[in-house]
Amino acid sequence: MLCLYRKSGQGVEVKNHATGETYDFDYLHNDNPTAHYKVNGKEKEFGEMSPFYLDPNREIMVVVIAIEAGVRFGIDAPRHWNIRRKEVKDKMKGAE
């Protein structure tokens, strides 16, 4: 499981390197004890320690670990899914 801390406006891209299927996961804000996210443009709410899946095949599990000024969460996915912080993805695009 990869654990990350994200502030409001920061996100993660989860991409299947074999098929190109992509999930954009953006942290918006929190109303403790609930965190607000956008998953592929659709706003959702999640509480601490309530796992949810990004994909219909239930391969990519996300668990909110702590809600503070930002949010700490873990992502568990098989190896064929790449997980990148959005700022890293954006830097890589700029370097091309």
Model confidence at 24, pLDDT cuts 50, 70, 90, reads very high
- Whole-prediction pTM: 0.82
Model confidence at 39, pLDDT cuts 50, 70, 90, reads very high
For 13-76, the DSSP string reads EEEETTT--EEEEEEEEEETTEEEEEETTEEEEEETT--EESSTTS--EEEEEEESSSEEEEEE
